[in-house]
Structure 1
Amino acid sequence: MMHQQGIGAWMAKRRLKSPDKIALVHDESTVTYRQLADGADRISALLRHHGVGKGDAVAYLGENSPEFLRVMFGAAQLGAVFVPVNTRLAPPEIAHVLTDCAARVLIHDPEFAERVAGAVDTAGTAHVIVTGDGTADRPGLARLAAATTAEPIDGQVNPDDPAAIVYTSGTTGRAKGAVLTHRNLTWVALNCIVDYDVVSTDVALMISPLFHVASLGMGALPVLLKGATIVLEKGFEPGRALAQIERHGVTMLSGVPTTYQLMADHPAWAGTDLSTLAKLTCGGSAVPVRVLNAYEARGLSFSQGYGMTEASPGATALPPAMTRAKQGSVGLPHFFTDVRIADSDGAPVPAGTIGEIEIAGPNVFPGYHGLPAETAAAFTEDGWFRSGDLGYLDDDGYLYIAGRLKDMIISGGENIYPPEIERLLNELDGVTGAAVIGVPDARWGEVPWAVLTVREGVAVDTERVREFLDGKIARYKLPKHVVVVDDLPRTASGKVRKADLRSRFEAIDQ
């Protein structure tokens, strides 16, 4: 009897059911399910050789590649916890992730060596392995794994054991590790299979980074569970993406509005054969009408949705057939997920009434790593996750987003939390007050602006602020524009009224 009841069992079962089916296409080469499973076995053996056991954290900092998935499944087979690290993080942010999860092993692409050096020292990570072949005196993951004897590993893994920790910034500005269990990742994959009709003959183009929980939980995992094929791209370039769709007969594509806009604006758009495309999903923010029009002119429509890391991340999906009829909605709850709206006292409200969005289901995480108080505050007494977002349900049960309690900024699909930036801005000499807001941007949806008050006689401009922040936070979080004002609008309790600032600056011609 198998003791492995988590996602670590998936590849062994795929090796039995579809060994010669192509699982991955990457850099013009292919990986079958047998090869992917064999590779995961070797990674498991290698990690075990390095002392990794159940519950130990294995961090991975790298671009999309077969190694990313081999390490994830290899760690899962041992009952270890996979920690994908955002490749855009600055060294202090990487150090926080490694320290917080107590990573026993860090596996990273060679190009990040300089960035992780200090972070590893700070965190005290025991083992650091570079992907690829490595050097003569420091063999890389590929050589180490090839020299390792793969042995079947049937670890004692239960559905409610942690499978991954995905870091997401919070209102405190400190990145929190959302613990996602094997059950969470299994059920979010099942939600996608049901609601997006994933089939084994699908070919999914993966252009978004796998360290994002949406790409992993709602992109890669349902496709691999179903035994379909992923065309795995290291990054996104619109012309190449269009070429890959035509070349490989891609049927599925996921992205953010900016992704789809750049593809539609590319010179190759009109001449590319898109006839195989059948399933387009878009998250991050609503698809602009002009982008909808461009794709509908080619016979294509979108599934849009809403979610967050804590829901692994899917909560709702809007079927393509309802894109126009329910324009502005993020859809219905996923098949195995429930959504409700509650007032400030936690009581459910009737349709059409704005309140806090609450989510329940087997895809909802159990809590934040090492943060019991924050975990308790994130759930209602009857176990629903409090999203911190505002919305309402219409009479048909479709969800509409009304605003964000946390003032989160979504820029090109990346979540930016103002308190993290504000905390640093307040350390800049001469700054007496700081507020970061999201301002609409034609390309990225929103971009962060910093609104500052400064001491008399102090000169602070955009260049100085960006230079001060560069290296402390990821570059996509750097304010695009800095405005110095005499006073920040505040409530009686002293909190900055960000709605006032947004209404003041969002109409400015950029």
Structure 2
Amino acid sequence: MRNAGLGSWPARRARMAPQREAFTFEGVSTTYLEVFRRTTKLARRLAELGVRHGDRVAYLGPNHPSFAETMFAAHQLGAIFVPLNFRLTTAEIDYQLADSGARVLIHAAQFGSDHPQAISLDSYESWLAGGSEEPLDVAVSIEDAALILYTSGTTGRPKGAVLSHANLLWNTFNLMIGIDIAYDEVALVAAPLFHVAALTQTLLPTFIKGGRSVITPRWDVGSALELIEWERVTWMFGVSTMYADLASSPDWRTADLSSLRVLMCGGAAVPDAVIRAYQDRGLVFCQGYGLTETAPGATFLEAADSVRKAGSAGVPVFLGDVRLAETGEIEVQGPNVTPGYWNDPVATAGAFTADGWFRTGDVGRLDDGYLYIVDRVKDMYISGGENVYPAEVENAISDHPDVAEVAVVGVPDSRWGEVGRAFVRPRSGVVVDAAGLREFLLPRLAKYKIPVHVEVVAELPRTGSGKVLKPALRRLPL
């Protein structure tokens, strides 16, 4: 087999355990043999549309087995998979399709597209059925690009972080070293697969071990608790908001969680009260730290330390290293770190130190070798597990004809962890209405990026050099 990448995984799994179940979606399960046959047919279909080694294949839609099938099929051809965030606006999605140069787009029916080669999931099954099951043998190097994952940009435009097959494989190894993943794992995949963590910290490690991924189209507390019991879920990944939702459910105390072995959390700091809620039920709650650009695991808190070091992001992953710069900025090095950004050599060069360490933009402290996240060098904040970059929001607000100047900061929120707070200075002689401004932003920004709080101010605080003093804005009471 000349394919050394992820595209070979369905074939390798099918020859080892053809009748084991790989995916369960809405009560229907698919075996590894079926996954291999379906991804091969899909790869053949994509090839008929002109997809070749190095081309990009995009996917737009909620969690669904077709997401994984499209990824593996693209990788059989040596193509690069581009998962898109369906929460974004049409303009944002169009930009990412154009920037990546996606040759084919497979999308859920509710997301219409004028892409010249768009396949709707409404016709997906009939289209797939016409594909040949003749296996392909395309040469794919482990160092070839596998994914382009768009992260919101500090300059108002998202950057496409490239992850190679090697990045994904080493990240899988790191996770399997940190957690004793078994062949009989049942993973609940409820976090969005277009984010790196749900894909690479849950679905891929489960797949490589021959376990079963229970895929849900959206996060729902009630159905999550039911699925954990019915499907005997053994592990899952979630962001802080998801775990807070579960612990706040009226069914929390009576829910049967006996099958759970490990709960993993990332994306934002987890309140101590949430951690205690799980530990009080005897559950292993492990946190980690990472970024899209680190595939994503940079540090991990193993089960043995989950109580003693609760609140810590853990120690560096086995096959990786972390250090702090003089400023306290966290820097990462290892085989899981991105080679750079798609078509953006300037951003790529700026992301690395002179000796090759990746600059995360986050500030941390080390205590006995354990990392604690302190703050962010950049202004990015995390709302419900989603990264929000104020520059992007500020750019959109500045397009409003009545806005002269704006500054956006993240502020604490009991539900989402953090939400946006915009300080708007209107143009002379006009009045800016907060509700009207939010309505103006609806077609321009994903809802989670739209500030919850909007303050109209006469002036913005500044440094001596004229820069806006965002720390002063963060300290203002709501």
> Residues 23-422 of structure 1 correspond to what in structure 2 (within 5 A)?
23-113=22-112, 116-117=113-114, 120=115, 126-131=116-121, 134=122, 140-343=123-326, 355-394=328-367, 396-422=368-394
2:275 touches 2:310 (CA, 8 Å); kept in 1? no
2:201 touches 2:237 (CA, 8 Å); kept in 1? no
Q: Using the alignment, how far apart are the partners of 1:44 and 1:144 within structure 2?
A: 12
Supply the AA of the counterpart residue of 1:390. Answer: V
Q: Using the alignment, how far apart are the partners of 2:148 and 2:459 within structure 1?
A: 40
Supply the AA of the counterpart residue of 1:226. Answer: K
Between the two proteins, the alignment pairs up a number of residues equal to 478
Q: Name the counterpart of 1:123.
A: none
Per-residue CA shift, 1:264-287, capped at 9, x if unaligned? 111221221111111000111122
Q: Using the alignment, how far apart are the partners of 1:160 and 1:496 within structure 2?
A: 42
3-state secondary structure, aligned to 1:250: coil
TM-score, with structure 2 as normaliser: 0.98
Are residues 488 and 320 of structure 1, via their aligned partners in 2, closer, same or farther at CA, if it must alter by over 3 Å? farther
Q: Using the alignment, how far apart are the partners of 2:232 and 2:212 within structure 1?
A: 11
Q: Using the alignment, how far apart are the partners of 1:281 and 1:88 within structure 2?
A: 23
Q: Using the alignment, how far apart are the partners of 1:502 and 1:320 within structure 2?
A: 35
Q: CA deviation at 1:320?
A: 3.5
Q: CA deviation at 1:216?
A: 0.8
Q: Using the alignment, how far apart are the partners of 1:242 and 1:438 within structure 2?
A: 31
2:396 touches 2:445 (CA, 8 Å); kept in 1? no
Q: CA deviation at 1:296?
A: 1.7
2:433 corresponds, among 439, 458, 461, to 461
Q: CA deviation at 1:198?
A: 1.3
Instruction: Give identity over the alignment, percent.
Output: 49
3-state secondary structure, aligned to 1:58: strand
Supply the AA of the counterpart residue of 1:88. Answer: R
Q: Which moved more, 1:181-190 or 1:261-270?
A: 261-270
Supply the AA of the counterpart residue of 1:128. Answer: A
Q: CA deviation at 1:218?
A: 1.0
Q: Name the counterpart of 2:397.
A: 425
TM-score, with structure 1 as normaliser: 0.92
Q: Using the alignment, how far apart are the partners of 2:276 and 2:119 within structure 1?
A: 47
Q: Using the alignment, how far apart are the partners of 1:89 and 1:28 within structure 2?
A: 29
Q: CA deviation at 1:327?
A: 3.6
Q: Using the alignment, how far apart are the partners of 2:371 and 2:433 within structure 1?
A: 41
Supply the AA of the counterpart residue of 2:2. Answer: H
Q: Using the alignment, how far apart are the partners of 1:161 and 1:70 within structure 2?
A: 19
Q: CA deviation at 1:199?
A: 1.3
Q: Which moved more, 1:88-97 or 1:289-298?
A: 289-298
Q: CA deviation at 1:100?
A: 0.4
Q: CA deviation at 1:207?
A: 0.6
Query: Is 1:501 aligned to residue 469 of structure 2?
Result: no
Structure 2 stretches of 5 or more lacking a match? none
> Residues 430-441 of structure 1 correspond to what in structure 2 (within 5 A)?
430-441=402-413
2:22 touches 2:213 (CA, 8 Å); kept in 1? yes
3-state secondary structure, aligned to 1:204: strand
1:246 touches 1:273 (CA, 8 Å); kept in 2? yes
Q: Using the alignment, how far apart are the partners of 1:143 and 1:334 within structure 2?
A: 44
Structure 1 stretches of 5 or more lacking a match? 121-125, 135-139, 345-354
Q: CA deviation at 1:217?
A: 1.2
2:425 touches 2:460 (CA, 8 Å); kept in 1? yes
Q: Using the alignment, how far apart are the partners of 1:320 and 1:193 within structure 2?
A: 13
Moved over 6 A (4+): none
Q: Using the alignment, how far apart are the partners of 2:275 and 2:445 within structure 1?
A: 33
Supply the AA of the counterpart residue of 1:438. Answer: G
1:252 touches 1:279 (CA, 8 Å); kept in 2? yes
Q: How well do the aligned residues superpose, as a CA RMSD in angstroms?
A: 1.2
Q: Using the alignment, how far apart are the partners of 2:187 and 2:307 within structure 1?
A: 25
